[in-house]
Amino acid sequence: MNTKEFDKRKLFYIIVMALLAVVLLALVVIAGFTSGRHIDPPAESAASDVASSDSVSEQGSTSDDSAVSEDEPVTQDVSDTSSVAEESLNSEPVSEPVSEESLQISAEESREESKEESYEASEEPSVPDFDPYNIKTSGVSANGKTFPKNAADNTTAGFVAIYNVTKGEFIYTKNATDKAYPASMTKLITAMLAEKYLDKSEEIVVGKEIELVKAHSSLAYLYNGEKLPLETVMDAMLLPSGNDAAYVLAVNVGRKILGNNKAPLAACLDAFCEEANKFVQSIGCKHTHITCPDGYHDDAHYSTAGDFALISAEVVKNYPLVKKVCAKKHAKDGYKLEWDNTNNMLDYSYVNGLKTGCTNEAGYCISLSAHAENSDIVIIIMNCSSTSTRTSDAKTLLSCAFGWY
């Protein structure tokens, strides 16, 4: 190989090496530039991405994910891990509104499910011992005049109800839906059941049931083995308010209900009370519960003035024997016993009944019935402080009821 040829070949290799060096240098520069774009993204760019996506979310449009994925490299080495994590953190606000809404919907669904479970658990609500009801009053006296409410409100009775039996409407009420104790007015219920179940002509035999009467009871002084007509036993119960007579009638009614003339006393009284509660409910009473035939105090034996107006109206409308007995001022048993009616309001010609009552818990009570102005009126007065205040209230309310006040 001559020297010229060697020099040419040497020069060729040098040029090639130089070109390779230039190309390699160019590749290194390009690689470094490309890598530098992804290591340190500008904070302004990240903030603008978040602001852009928030703005889209507020407008209710779907966000464009292509702007986020547009700058992602095709390949990634280990040195890019931190940048990917940082980009991920910076991009979280884009998806936050969706996640928050989802959580809110989930929470609302959870609350709705909880409500449904609570509703299912309370499908059978507990019934309170006493649940007052509303009574609509006409505010018109029997003769068509406006009822003098102020005068009636000034009466001392705790509970009052005035009912126009002829029209079938309440005229006036005062605490008439409040729980109260009826005391011996209860005997009106016992009397109606006796008229319903017992034959007027049959003879009632007084038995050991009179021994069930509680201490300090008012008595008609019936004795064991005595035989009396039904009306006479009613006289003994409704005029002097004999608790002994009330037990006699209740036991005889109980035996009729049971269809057993020799049924035990306890069974007879249970049957009587069960029937008494059904009876008062059937005539519209919503808050009356009967546990005894005489009204001797028991916390579980209660009523309202409104209910007792309906009970008294039932006497006036459908029970002539009870109404007849309640109108008597005096009666006797055919032997040696005589009874005076405890209802002193019978001295007024238009008053024709019905029944008084008194216990420490009930106060002084009265169920009055009267007829005037072509109308039958019943007035229930409960929880007066004395006989005199009961009488005074009765006179005032009678005048108001008929439009004479």
Residues 86, 177, single domain; the answer is: no
Give mean pLDDT, residues 70-81: 36
Record the tokens describing residue 49, joined without a space: 């991405």
pLDDT the model gives residue 3: 53
Please tell me whether residue 383 adopts helix, strand or coil conformation.
Answer: strand
- Residue-level pLDDT at 59: 36
Give whole-number Cα distances, 178 to 151, 174, 378, in Å.
21, 9, 18
Are both 71 and 198 inside the same structural domain? no
Q: What CA–CA distance (Å, rounded) separates 190 from 354?
A: 13
The domain tally of the chain equals 2
4-13, 95-104, 212-221: which has the minimum mean pLDDT?
95-104
- The verdict on residue 108 lying in a domain is no
Which tokens hold the place of 6? Answer: 């060697």
Please indicate, yes or no, if residue 49 is contained in any of the structural domains.
Answer: yes
**CATH number (domain holding residue 207):** 3.40.710.10
* Residues paired with 229 in a beta bridge: 203
- Let me know: does 159 contact 383? Beta carbons within 8 Å: yes
Residue after which a domain boundary falls, among 100, 131, 164? 100
- 352-379: per-residue pLDDT in tens? 999 999 999 999 999 999 999 999 999 9
Residue 112 lies in a domain: no
Q: Do 70 and 156 fall within a single domain?
A: no
Q: Which of 50-59, 340-349, 364-373 shows the lowest mean pLDDT across its residues?
A: 50-59
- Given 100, 116, 137, which residue is the final one in a domain? 100
316 and 382 together in one domain:
yes
What pairing do the DSSP bridges indicate for beta strands 338-340 and 330-332?
A: antiparallel
Over residues 207-244, the pLDDT tens digits come to 999 999 999 999 999 999 999 999 999 999 999 999 99
Tell me how far apart the alpha carbons of residues 324 and 327 are, in angstroms, rounded to a whole number: 5
185 located within any domain: yes
Same domain, 92 and 191: no
- Provide the pairing of β-strand 375-384 with 363-372: antiparallel
- In angstroms, the CA 384 to CA 363 distance is 5
- 188 within some domain: yes
- Asked if residue 156 and residue 61 are part of one domain, the reply reads no
Percent of the chain with pLDDT over 70: 71
Q: CA triplet 346, 138, 177: central angle to 5 degrees?
A: 75
pLDDT at 152 (0 to 100): 97
pLDDT at 73: 34
Mean pLDDT for all residues in the chain: 80
Distance CA 299, CA 276 (A): 17
In a domain, 293, yes or no: yes
Q: Which domain holds residue 282?
A: 149-402
Residue 113 included in any domain: no
Give the whole-angstrom CA distance, residue 194 versus residue 186.
Answer: 13
Residues 211, 317, single domain; the answer is yes
Q: Are residues 90 and 185 in the same domain?
A: no
Among the three residues 72, 100, 128, which one is the final residue of a domain in this structure? 100
In this predicted model, what pLDDT tens digit does every residue of 142-172 receive, in sequence order?
Answer: 999 999 999 999 999 999 999 999 999 999 9
Residue recorded with tokens 């409308």: 317
Judged against a pLDDT cut of 60, whether residue 105 lies above it is answered with no
Are 294 and 384 in the same domain? Answer: yes
237 and 348 housed in the same domain: yes
177: left (phi over 0), alpha (psi -120 to 50) or beta: alpha
Across 129-133, 215-219, 264-268, 386-390, least confident range: 129-133
Distance separating alpha carbons of residues 393 and 152, to the nearest angstrom:
8
Q: Residue 54: pLDDT above 80?
A: no
Please check whether residues 157 and 252 belong to one and the same domain. yes
Residue 133 lies in a domain: no
Q: In Å, how far from its chain's centre is CA 352?
A: 38
Burial 172-191 (b: 16+ CB within 10 A, else e): bbbbbbbbbbbbbbbbbbbb
**Do 95 and 160 fall into the same domain?**
no
Binned at pLDDT 50, 70 and 90, residue 391 comes out as very high
CA distances from 132 to 168, 170, 270 (A): 20, 16, 27
Report the phi/psi class of residue 222: left, alpha or beta, with left for phi > 0 and alpha for psi in -120 to 50.
beta
Residue 66 has pLDDT above 50, yes or no: no
